[in-house]
Structure 1
Amino acid sequence: MRPVLRLLGLRLLYFMLVFGVLTIAPFGLDLVLRVIIAFVVSMVLSFFLLRRERLEVTERVVDSVDARRERRRQAGKG
């Protein structure tokens, strides 16, 4: 669960940082536009900068699914 929370926290941090920069910068952007831009930019940053975290979460999910399948298989035999 910890890698999932770490990934979520880092993605949220990227969003907040980009949104903060857009809010402080004198671009005169509407709030909705700032949110959309921050979402897209933080998504791209996350894609490139959080690769290791995404892989770790993926491995955990695969391990969890495999363990669940094995438990179901064992329960069916017994």
Structure 2
Amino acid sequence: MRPVLRLLGLRLLYFLLVFGVLTVAPLGLDLILRVLIAFVVSMVLSFFLLRRERLEVTEQVVTKVDARLERRRQSGRG
């Protein structure tokens, strides 16, 4: 569960950082537009900067699914 929380936390941090920069910068953007821009930019940053974390989460999910399938197979045979 820890890699998932770490990934979520880092993605949220990127969003808040970009949103904060857009809020502080004197661009005169509407709130909705700042949120949308922060969302898109943070998604792009996350895609490139959080590759390792995404791989860890993927490995964790695959391991849990495999273990669950194995338990299901064993209980069906017994």
Q: TM-score, normalised by structure 2?
A: 0.99
Deviations 1:9-55 (A, max 9, x none): 00000000000000000000000000000000000000000000000
The 5 Å alignment of 1:14-33 reads 14-33=14-33
SS at match of 2:34: helix
Could you tell me how far apart the structure 1 residues matched to 2:26 and 2:58 are? Answer: 40
The 5 Å alignment of 1:1-78 reads 1-78=1-78
**How many residue pairs were aligned?**
78
Identical positions, percent: 86
Q: Which amino acid aligns with 1:39?
A: F
For structure 1, the residue ranges without an aligned partner over 5 or more in a row are: none
Deviations 1:33-78 (A, max 9, x none): 0000000000000000000000000000000000000000000011
Runs of at least 4 residues off by over 2 Å: none
RMSD: 0.2
For structure 2, the residue ranges without an aligned partner over 5 or more in a row are: none
Question: How far is 1:4 from its partner?
Answer: 0.1
Could you tell me how far apart the structure 1 residues matched to 2:40 and 2:76 are? Answer: 46
